[in-house]
Amino acid sequence: MKKFTFIVTPAQQGKRLDAVLATEFSEFSRARWNTQIKSGKVKIANVEVKSSMVLKTNSVISGYFPEQIDTNQLVAPDEIPPILFKNSNVIVINKPAGLIVHPSGKRSQPSVAGAFASLVQDDDVLRPGIVHRLDKDTSGVMILARNQATKEFLQAQFKARTVKKIYLALVAGHLNNDSARIELPLQRSKKNPEKMIVTNLGKSAISEYTAVAKFIGFSLLKIQLFTGRTHQIRSQFAHLGHPVIGDRLYGTSGLPKGLSRQFLHASELTIEIAKGQIKHFSAPLPHDLESFLEKL
């Protein structure tokens, strides 16, 4: 990252730090500078400050420029995920299993963000358009925002828990009830940071399930999430003794014959894509999961 240093002029006195940076270095938006300031990469007199800091004449501002978004580094996969719906504000896709949602350090990793970066106007370098996530080996419906205003509009709905999210999961065994509400709080494990665990000290995690089919040793569940905790379905059902089939983190280490990943699919999403415009999107079970079910 390139460094910069400049001294506040009398004309800039009394103005906010983020506003001055966006004017002084206009190749980066105010939102990009906000992100840079919050991450501690901009300082005044060598001290970290807030975006709302009111400037004084002769103050020395120094730090690092935001990184430029390089869509050549956000490499798209060989096949772009199927688009279920697209307009000027959103793109709804059927994410394939095996594709990460956004890079985490390795900028050249194929990702959903990289696949659609050229269609999104967003200030987030590594997560353009991303408003929610699916695990790498989970397939199904995802919505992306094509601009900053829509991103904030969609994120507010996920935060308010007004988005309806339905998953299909094949779990081990048969549960005591064919339908039930699950309220098991979750937090990240200190012993294994990759896992989430059920604990009274965790954050609220609420799910409801209905058994839609039963097989010898397996149950196909339709699950609605009312919260969006990391690994919520996987960790809660593993805790209940019914892990998702093929889940090597929460279930058994091996995969059953005919299955190459966890049997978890985001099948439906209902969300307001613009004020007063509620849309329902769905994606059928992909071939690999459908084929596995047929052999049970």
Rounded Cα distance, 28 and 120, in Å: 16
- Choice among 18, 123, 124, 135 that is catalytic: 135
In one-letter notation, the amino acid at residue 272 is: E
Within a 10 A sphere around the Cβ of 98, how many other Cβ atoms?
13
CA separation for the pair 186, 161 (Å, rounded):
17
| Beta-carbon contacts of residue 34 (< 8 Å; ≥ 6 apart) | 18, 51
Give the Å distances, CA to CA, from 117 to 73, 80, 110, 114, 124. 10, 12, 12, 5, 10
Asked if residue 89 lies in contact with residue 150, where contact means CB atoms within 8 angstroms, the answer is yes
**What is the three-class DSSP state of 182?**
strand
Q: Do the bridges between strand 206-215 and strand 179-183 make them parallel or antiparallel, or are there none, so unpaired?
A: antiparallel
How many C-beta neighbours within 10 Å does residue 54 have?
Answer: 9
Which helix or strand (DSSP H or E) is residue 239 part of?
Answer: helix 232-239
Is 123 labeled as catalytic in the residue annotation? Answer: no
- Which amino acid makes up residue 82? P
Cite the active site residues. Answer: 135
